[in-house]
Chain A
Amino acid sequence: MENSAVGEVRILVPAGMLGAGFEESTVERGLELGADVIAVDGGSTDSGPSYLGSATPKTTKAAVARDLRILLRAADRAGIPLIVGSCGTSGVDAGVDWVAEIVAEIMAEEGLGLKVARIYSEQSAADLKEHLDAGRIHPLPPLGELDVETIESCTHIVGVMGHEPFVEAIEAGAQVVLAGRATDTAVAAAFPLMKGMPAGPTWHVSKIVECGGQATTNPRAGGVFATIDATGFTIEPLDPAAACTPISVAAHMLYETANPFELREPDGTLDVRNATYVALDDRTVRVEGSEFHLADQMTIKLEGARITGYETMSFTAIRDPLILGKIDEWAQLLREVLTDRVAQTLGLRADEYDFDIRLYGHNAVLGDIEPGGAPPREVGVMLLVNAADQATARAIAKVGNPLMLHLPTLEMDYLPSLAFATSPAEIDRGAAYEFVLNHVVDVESPTALFRIELEESHV
């Protein structure tokens, strides 16, 4: 692929997430508009630590394959690169390989011979301990300094790459780049930056397009199309019926970011304080004035997850107004009686396991910050147990079973029977995880922590 200077670069982002689905016609439209690259995010930490901790994807294979088939055909026909970041949700090495296998199957079926690069982002505890000892790892708020025990406790750790490994892969001849964990923005930013587009507009537009249709007036409409040039960028939805407005575009800079004006990337910080948003017509917006400040020190952010224990869930429901009127007292009684019964039957102290009782319909979602309201019509009671192993978690939930079925309030002199939702009532959830890393590593090179493997085409 030639790396000659160009005046503008047009990026096609078909959806906010690979596997989310989109109309094939919107990709056709993006090609007609002259797309130079197709970029799509394949992952996120948003859905919790389990996907990283267990190295399993959130999306189902059929949904990923459906989207990839359309995108691979489009990239092949137009002769433009396809870039996928954070493969397999968490971006672990197994996630990259999972997407690469799907790509290989589709290419074999479709007779395509595109050259595929895999970029791995998983980090070994041994390497990170060296960085830690050398003082190169620093915490991001709200976490504190990292210690060796925390590194060693993680089941998987990934480094979050910027655009540089993507650029290296494309310059080496890759037509399809399947990357491990990457910043949401790097996926879209890589090709324009490689083509010499200015960093301010490129990173800004990459933030705006990272969730696909979120930046439009119809978030369900799918993808967006953006053109970057020397002084700014222009953005429109791929669906002709949807619109980008100055407000919808500006507002997306707020989405999922703690700070609405700045966004840190490995090599610097996007600053949109001076950006201006102008409607070119009723569905296209022009943005200028975005800035990017190179950092004195390049950093790579780390994400890591570890097992907190094993969980079993049990769920029952209450409709009787006599119990609903005293629901908080009833839940407190359940806590006390369950703790006593676990001590009697299993010989476990309260600090040897943990459980949460959630009153869905009453205050399960907000807990003690619930502003309150009328007494509920019915309440779903979830018992979630966490213990050191699955058998213990299940045993505790089973000890809770007669209570979840029959526990009366203090006023009742008879046993009510509550409404179990399923039989058996207990559901083993397997290992539960938590995120424990929110740290950066100082690096000399933005590609040093990542490994690029370029495959020869198979056709």
Chain B
Amino acid sequence: MSESTPTLGDLALEVRSKNAGPFWVTMELFMRDADGYRIAADETFLNESVIAGLYRVDAADIQMFRIPSLNVVKISFPRPISQGSLRDRDMHAGQHHVPLALLRVPEKSA
């Protein structure tokens, strides 16, 4: 990965995150086209352990869904901080897509 390659957000129409009930957070990468989808769906680049590192959660709890018909990669995991508790700074988890969106894609894909 390099400062010269685009981010996932650069290759996406939209990257979003949202609570899925009080105990889960879910994110979607809506990629612009099949090429962008191929990069985002590449398991050697974006996988459970990468997400675990970005969000400091257990890789075993992460669910990933790759949906080629929509050019979407969807990621869900239990909220590390319970909704509405003293240390919850994002009630709807609506700003938690940013670390994912800022992830730079590998040189060979870009």
Q: Which residues of A are in contact with B by a Cβ distance under 8 Å?
A: 45-50, 141-143, 247, 250-251, 254-261, 303, 308, 311, 354-356, 358, 364-371, 384, 386, 432-435, 438
**Inter-subunit contact B98/A366 (CB<8 Å):** yes
**Inter-subunit contact A386/B70 (CB<8 Å):** no
A-B pairs with beta carbons under 8 Å apart, 25 shown: A45-B83, A46-B91, A46-B92, A48-B88, A143-B23, A251-B28, A254-B28, A257-B20, A258-B24, A258-B63, A258-B76, A260-B67, A303-B22, A308-B86, A311-B86, A356-B87, A356-B89, A364-B89, A365-B89, A366-B96, A366-B98, A371-B98, A432-B84, A432-B86, A435-B82
Q: Which residues of B are in contact with A by a Cβ distance under 8 Å?
A: 18-24, 26, 28, 30, 54-56, 61, 63, 65, 67, 69-70, 72, 74, 76, 78, 82-92, 95-96, 98-99, 102
Q: Which residues on the A side are within 8 Å of B18 (C-beta)? A: 255-256
Smallest CB–CB gap between B80 and chain A, Å? 9
Q: In the assembly, what is the distance between CA of A45 and CA of B95, in Å?
A: 18
Q: In the assembly, what is the distance between CA of A141 and CA of B21, in Å?
A: 11
Of A256, A369, A386, which is within 8 A of B20 by CB?
A256
Q: Which residues on the B side are within 8 Å of A435 (C-beta)? A: 22-23, 82-84
Q: A250-B70, A368-B56 known; A256 and B82 CB under 8 Å? A: no
Q: Which residues on the B side are within 8 Å of A141 (C-beta)? A: 78
**CB-nearest residue of chain B relative to A250?**
B70
Q: In the assembly, what is the distance between CA of A297 and CA of B54, in Å?
A: 38
Q: Which residues on the A side are within 8 Å of B90 (C-beta)? A: 365-366
Q: Which residues on the B side are within 8 Å of A257 (C-beta)? A: 20, 26
Q: A142-B23, A438-B23 known; A367 and B84 CB under 8 Å? A: no
Smallest CB–CB gap between B78 and chain A, Å? 4
**CB-nearest residue of chain B relative to A275?**
B69
Smallest CB–CB gap between A370 and chain B, Å? 8
**Inter-subunit contact B20/A258 (CB<8 Å):** yes
Q: In the assembly, what is the distance between CA of A50 and CA of B63, in Å?
A: 29
**Inter-subunit contact B86/A48 (CB<8 Å):** no
**Inter-subunit contact B26/A256 (CB<8 Å):** yes
**Inter-subunit contact A256/B65 (CB<8 Å):** no
Of B21, B76, B85, B92, which is within 8 A of A47 by CB?
B92
Contacts beyond the supplied A48-B88, A254-B28, A435-B23: 8 A-B pairs with Cβ under 8 Å: A46-B91, A48-B91, A251-B28, A259-B65, A260-B65, A356-B87, A358-B89, A434-B82
Of B63, B84, B92, which is within 8 A of A49 by CB?
B84
Q: In the assembly, what is the distance between CA of A141 and CA of B99, in Å?
A: 25
Query: Which of B28, B65, B70, B84: most chain A Cβ within 10 A?
Result: B84
Q: In the assembly, what is the distance between CA of A370 and CA of B76, in Å?
A: 19
Of A47, A254, A308, A433, which is within 8 A of B72 by CB?
A254
Smallest CB–CB gap between A260 and chain B, Å? 5
**Inter-subunit contact B74/A254 (CB<8 Å):** yes
3 closest A-B pairs by CB: A48-B84, A142-B78, A258-B76
**CB-nearest residue of chain B relative to A51?**
B84
Q: A366-B95, A371-B102 known; A261 and B65 CB under 8 Å? A: yes
**CB-nearest residue of chain B relative to A372?**
B102
Q: In the assembly, what is the distance between CA of A254 and CA of B30, in Å?
A: 11
Q: In the assembly, what is the distance between CA of A260 and CA of B55, in Å?
A: 21
Q: Which residues on the A side are within 8 Å of B98 (C-beta)? A: 366, 371
Q: Which residues on the B side are within 8 Å of A50 (C-beta)? A: 84
**Inter-subunit contact B30/A365 (CB<8 Å):** no
**Inter-subunit contact B63/A48 (CB<8 Å):** no
**Inter-subunit contact B19/A365 (CB<8 Å):** no
Q: In the assembly, what is the distance between CA of A49 and CA of B69, in Å?
A: 36
Q: In the assembly, what is the distance between CA of A20 and CA of B76, in Å?
A: 28
Q: A354-B86, A356-B86, A432-B84 known; A47 and B91 CB under 8 Å? A: yes
Q: In the assembly, what is the distance between CA of A250 and CA of B102, in Å?
A: 26
Q: In the assembly, what is the distance between CA of A187 and CA of B104, in Å?
A: 42
Q: A142-B78, A366-B98 known; A251 and B65 CB under 8 Å? A: no
